[in-house]
Each structure stands twice: as structure tokens, then as C-alpha cells.
Structure 1
Amino acid sequence: MKTWTFDDIPDLTGKRAIVTGANSGLGYWTALHLARRGAAVVMACRSAERAMASRDRLLAAIPAGQVEVMELDVADLDSVKAFGQRYAHNHDALHLLCNNAGLALPPLSHTRHGFELQFGTNFLGHFALTGHLLPTLRATPGARVVHTASIAHRFGRIDFDDPHFRTRRYQDMAAYGQSKLANLMFAFELQRRFVGAGIEATSIAAHPGYAATNISANNSLGKSRIGNAMVRLGDRLLGQSAETGAMPILLAATSPTAAGGAYYGPGGWFELRGSPRLVDSTRASKDTAVAARLWTMAENLTGVHFLS
């Protein structure tokens, strides 16, 4: 099979895209390559100041790029709702929604709505965002929703009794795995519901493998001297650049052959690095009964009901 590269991204002139967390890492490189091929890209970021600096850097590389910054904190449901309303007011089409923003392994903390921070950011915020943007996605022929997943879903488990670690002992890796399993199950369930509702849109998941991003900068491992050295060593020995890590996401977002409900990731050793290809996920991620229960829980927690 031919190796997929950035050169395989088709002409995207006339397409509109949103990339959450586009100021750095995977999101930045996703936004850059979409803009390079002609898409009008919204960089949806928590910090407008950092996003504007990243936009300037992007436009220095692609002077003709159509790039807009809109403020969005996916950990805050009010911010998510306001973003959805602003986007719908300003734009009548959305060809691509990249649910990319995320964080990993912070100390125990909760969003202002009471969600464990990783579960609230990586999953619930993007669930709500997709719901708010659904009317625009639905009105756009061939729309796609691409979810940035993780190999960490393999050790995830959805705890319906205590998803926010209110009573059980907090373990940052367990919380991260739960959020990424939920994120992947949402991707698959959204595709099933698109089909069931007769909506001509697709939901696709992708993961970057071990990409050298700044996602660990604010956790305890990245902040300690020894931990930071371990992260840097791991980046060199096992990882790949953030730009290369964005390739599976861009394949899922742009390839004419990318299928709804599919999952893409690096094709190398243990899916840590390498050229993007179709990959598999755990049996738990494909459990339709649990996915339906998770969807209902997400609706109840966020107050955003869609495709029910």
C-alpha cells in the first residue's frame, strides 16, 4: 500500500475547518497543513493571545493562508456554547471539525462544572461542542468530525459510578485512559448515529502515536527535573515530531478514502511512530451498549442533547 504523505492532502479551497487547541502541537500542524491546501481555518484556542502568536507564525509560513482565531475553552461548557453560537452566526458551513484539544496527567482537579479535568476537557467538552455545531455540520454536504484519540485508550475503563474521582483514589494515568477511551467511543458512536439519522457526515478517529508535543508540560512528570529529562529521552528514542504525529489526523480529515467509523494511527512499532495507516482498537472501545450509556451520561452532564 502506498505510504500516505502531506502531499496527498487534496485541494481544500472553499472548505471551512475548526481545529481545537490549534495554538501548539498537533493542532498547530493540523491547522497549518489544512491552510496550506486552501482551507479557511478557525484556530479555536483557550488563550487568544497565544493563538494570535501561533497564527502569526503560521501566516509567516503560508502568507496566503485564511486563518481566524476564535476563543474557546473546551473545559468550560459556557465557553463551548458561546463558541458554537458565534461560529453559527458568522459561518453557514463547516466541512471539518477537528476535536483535538486535550491535556494529560495533571494533578487531580475539576472543571468549574465539577468534571475531572481530563474527562471534562478531552471528552465532555468536545461532546458538547459537536452538539452545538451539529446544525452547521448537518447543513454541510460531506462534513467530517475527526477526534484525536490515543493509544492510552487501551488501559482506559469508564467508571460510571465515579467518573470524576470524587470518592475513588485519583490516578492520573487511569483518568487519562478513561478520557481517551470515552473520546474514542464517542467517535464510533457518533458515526453510528450519523448513519441512523441519515446524516451525510462522517466521524473518524486518529491518534498520533508518541508525538513530541508539550502536552506533558503541566503535569508532575514534565515539571520535575528528572521527569522532564525522562520525557525528553522518550521523545528522542521512541517519539516523532508533532508535525509527523499530525499525519494520521490529517489523513482522517482529508483523504477521500478515509471511512466513517475508522481509526488511523502510525504504522510503526507498537503504533508509536511511522507513516499513518488504518489501525485497530480494543474490544471495550467497540462496545455499543456501553457507548450508548456513555452518550446518555454525557448528555446529562453537559445538558447538550443531540442525535438521541
Structure 2
Amino acid sequence: MKNVTDNAYPVTPQIPIPSGFGPHTTAREVIEGYQLSGKVAIVTGGYSGVGLETTRALAEAGATVIIPARTMGKAQSAIATIPRVELEELDLIDPASIDAFAQRFLDTRRPLHILINNAGIMVPPLTRDARGYESQFAINHLGHFQLTARLWPALKQAAGARVISVSSAGIRFGGVDFEDPNFEHKTYEKWRAYGQSKSANALFAVALDRRGYAHGVRAFSVHPGRIITDLVRHMSEDEMNAATSGPNAKFKTPEQGAATSVWCATSQQLDGKGGVYCEDVDIARPVPKEALDGTIHVSSGVFPWAIDPAFAERLWQLSESMTGVMFQP
């Protein structure tokens, strides 16, 4: 699929609607009144933390939810009481595992109405996959890029699908280093690497929405909010103490954290929209210019390097090159 320069593509403004919801809204509140019977969703990481609450909300509204899981025993225990959930094996750091999972789904010939790319890792010690790629970029972005590409026929088949890319306020740590994404020529910095992967998640939604528009596939990126989940397992005690103290130490519950993903995946308020970064169950505002030069600190909003269309296209080309995977028209 070549670069997209279709002038007919309607760019959605990166400004709040406003939605009428807010930071304390839960996933159940967002989806109240929606009936998803007959809809099929895939939620990566859908058996833990925010992902589990995302699964629960979609399934209780009637959707069939497929959870790709690396740890099947943990997943089986977590979803035991949730209806209409199917478990499948998948390891996002293994390209062969991604292809096998996607092919099993395609073989069912079901359309895919909702894909929520939720799974991820945060600030581990330097680890590389079998290709030599830095693990946060490989799992958080490249794995989901490949998964979405392989599931593309099912997304188009849905005739109205949504793809949700779970990003983070970690975008503040920086954008994608297109010259050295794998820290081969610079010292590994775990927070810089995390920020890069989360900025990539947001940029992926920008480029994917432009490509999916003609096929009825819309894409959004999401900051779920600050939530204490298993994702923090690589943080040191000092880092945890710093993160959980001070005036900005405001946390959401997993149910509140799932709300923005569920809203982006289902809300009629977003019909005809796409390619934007969302938080607190609304489209986020761009951060003010004073935040870019460090004059002020902001706790919300999206940084320009995470929604820049030119960066999004450059990342798309880089992702195709690194994975060897291309989306089929």
C-alpha cells in the first residue's frame, strides 16, 4: 500500500468534541445502552488490567471478544466469569506467532469489527527480539503493526471497523528516532524507548486512519490515564515513589482507564471521525507551545510529534521495512 495523499480524506480536528464524559467515567458508563450482539472484537492484553476491563465492557454489551494471550493459564483464570470470550495463543514479539494467530482468525471467515491494540511493556532493561529490535518498539508498535496488517481483510470485511491503538502520556518522553529506533548507536534509555514506542502507537493511528477511510476502517489512539497495573513491574522503588507522590499523582481505576478505548471503539459520537489522539473519553487538545520548551508542565494533551502526518508516513515506511509486512489494498 503506497503513501496516501487522497485530498478527499477528511481530517478530524485534534480538539475536544466535547463528549460529555470525563476522567472519572467508567467503561460501563460509556457503553450503556449500546448493543454489540453480532460484533466481533479482538483485544490484545485483554486479560489483565485495563485490557481486562475493556474485554468485560465489550462482552457484557454482547460482543464476542477474542483475547490473544501469551500466558494462557493466567488468561483463563482472569476471564472465567466473562461471557462470549475466546482465548488464542499469541506472542507479540514473535512474528511467526502473530501470523499464525491472524491466520486462525481469518480461517473462521468472521468480520472483525473492533481491534484494540492494548498489550504492551514498559521500561524493561534493554532486551532485543530475535531480529535484534529493541523490545518496547518491537512489542508495543511493530507487533501490533504486523497484527493489524494480517487482520486487514477481516477489518475491511466488517464494513465499518475501528482500530484502537493504546498509547500513553509517555509520548512526552519523545518521538520516534527514525535513524536509530533500536538504540544501536546511542545508549539505551528505558523511558526514552518507552516514549518512542507510545509515540509510534499514536502515529500508527494517524496513518492507518488515512488508509482505512475508503474501506470504512477508522483508527484512533488512546491515552487511558495513569493506572497502577502489572505494567509497572519494571519500575524501581524510587521510580514508583516519585510517580505516586506529589500534586500530579492522580490515578484512575482500571474501569476508568478502559473507558476511552471502549468509547473510541463504539461511540456514535465518533462516526465520521478518526486519526486523532484521545484521553479522558474525548479527543485531546494539542499541548500548548509553552509545554514544548519546558516553560510549563502539562498533565494532559498530545505532543506534536505523536500526531504529525509526515512523521506518521515515515513511520509507516520504516515499519514495513523492519517487519517485511505490507498492508494489502
Q: TM-score, normalised by structure 1?
A: 0.88
- Aligned twin of 1:134: 152
Superposed CA deviations along residues 208-234 of structure 1, whole A, max 9, x for unmatched, are 1111211011x142xx4x545555658
Number of the residue aligned with 1:19: 43
Structure 1 gaps of 5+ residues are 267-275
Q: Matched residues in 2 for 1:136 and 1:277: separation?
A: 27
* 1:279 to 2:293 alignment: no
The answer to whether the 8 Å contact 2:243/2:249 transfers is no
Cα 1:236–1:37 shift into 2, 3 Å: farther
Pick aligned residue for 1:202 from 208, 211, 218: 218
Q: Distance in 1 between matches of 2:193 and 2:86?
A: 33
Query: Which residue of the other structure, out of 254, 259, 262, is the alignment partner of 1:247?
Result: 259
Deviations 1:60-109 (A, max 9, x none): xx4xx101001111111111111110111124211000000001100011
Structure with the higher fraction of residues in helix conformation: 1
% identical equivalent positions: 38
- Report if the CA contact (8 A) 1:19-1:31 is conserved: yes
Match of 1:270 in 2: none
The equivalent residue for 1:116 is: 134
What SS class does the counterpart of residue 318 from structure 2 fall into? Answer: helix
Q: Offset at 1:128?
A: 0.2
Contact 1:156 1:179 in 2 (8 A): no
Distance 2:176 2:328 in 1: 21
Q: Distance in 1 between matches of 2:131 and 2:54?
A: 29
Q: How does 1:145-224 map to 2 (within 5 A)?
A: 145-195=163-213, 198-217=214-233, 219-221=234-236, 224=237
SS of the residue corresponding to residue 186 of structure 2 reads: coil
Unmatched tracts of structure 2, length 5 or more: 1-17, 286-301
Give the structure-2-normalised TM-score. Answer: 0.82
Flag the structure with more relative contact order, 1 or 2, with Cα contacts below 8 A and sequence separation at least 6.
2
SS, match of residue 75 in structure 1: coil
Residues 14-64 of structure 1: CA deviation (Å, up to 9, x unaligned)? 1000000112011101001100100000111111111111121xx1xx4xx
| Aligned-partner residue type, residue 38 of structure 1 | G
Alpha-carbon shift at residue 288 of structure 1 (Å): 2.0
| Residue pair 1:75, 1:111 contacting (<8 A) in 2 also | yes
CA distance in 2 between counterparts of 1:19 and 1:116 reads 23
Is structure 2 residue 321 aligned with structure 1 residue 300? yes
Aligned length: 287
